[in-house]
Amino acid sequence: MAAFVIKKIVFAITAIFGVMLITFLLFNCIGGDISYEYAGRNAGNETLDKIRKELGTDKPLLFFADSQFVNHIKNAATFNFGLSRDREDIGRKIRQGAKISLALTIPILLGTFVISIAAGLIMAYREKNLLSRIGNWLCIVGMSIPFLSFILLGQYYLAYKWKLFPVYFWPDLSPFQYLPLPIIIGIAAGAGFNIRFYKTIFRNEIESEYVRFAMARGVGPARILFKHVLKNAMMPIITRLVFSIPFLFMGSVLLEKFFGIPGLGSIVIDALSARDYKVLNAVVFLSAILVAVFTVIADICYAALDPRVNLEQGN
Is 76 or 283 the residue whose CB approaches other proteins more closely?
283
Burial label, 196 (beta-carbon count in 10 A; 0-12, 13-18, 19+): buried
> Is 100 near other proteins (CB under 8 A)?
no
> Is 247 near other proteins (CB under 8 A)?
yes
Query: How far lies 313's CA from each of 4, 5, 213, 308, 310, in Å?
Result: 8, 11, 31, 11, 6
Q: Which of 45, 144, 174, 313 binds other proteins (CB under 8 A)?
A: 144
> Is 226 near other proteins (CB under 8 A)?
no
C-alpha of 269 from chain center: 15
> Is 38 near other proteins (CB under 8 A)?
no
- CA angle centred on 226, ends 224 and 231, rounded to 5°: 95
Applying CB under 8 A, the site for other proteins has a residue count of 65
**By the 8 A CB rule, do 138 and 192 touch?**
yes
> Is 130 near other proteins (CB under 8 A)?
no
Q: Which of 3, 7, 31, 36 binds other proteins (CB under 8 A)?
A: 31
> Is 306 near other proteins (CB under 8 A)?
yes
> Is 145 near other proteins (CB under 8 A)?
yes
Distance separating alpha carbons of residues 268 and 280, to the nearest angstrom: 7
Distance separating alpha carbons of residues 140 and 133, to the nearest angstrom: 11
Q: Which of 162, 172, 217, 313 binds other proteins (CB under 8 A)?
A: 217
Binding range to other proteins, per CB under 8 A, among 58-66, 75-83, 93-101, 272-280 = 272-280
- CA angle centred on 86, ends 80 and 92, rounded to 5°: 40
> Is 278 near other proteins (CB under 8 A)?
no
Is 50 or 193 the residue whose CB approaches other proteins more closely?
193
> Is 127 near other proteins (CB under 8 A)?
yes
What are 6-13's contacts with CB under 8 Å, separation 24+? 7/314, 8/295, 8/296, 8/299, 9/296, 12/292, 12/293, 12/295, 12/296, 13/292
Closest distance to other proteins from the beta carbon of 170 (Å):
16
- CA angle centred on 262, ends 256 and 267, rounded to 5°: 85
Under the rule (CB under 8 A), what is the footprint of other proteins? 11-12, 14-16, 18-19, 22-23, 26-27, 30-31, 127-128, 140-141, 143-149, 152-153, 156, 160, 207-210, 212-220, 228, 231-232, 247, 250, 253-254, 268-269, 272-273, 275, 280, 283-284, 287-288, 291-292, 295, 305-308
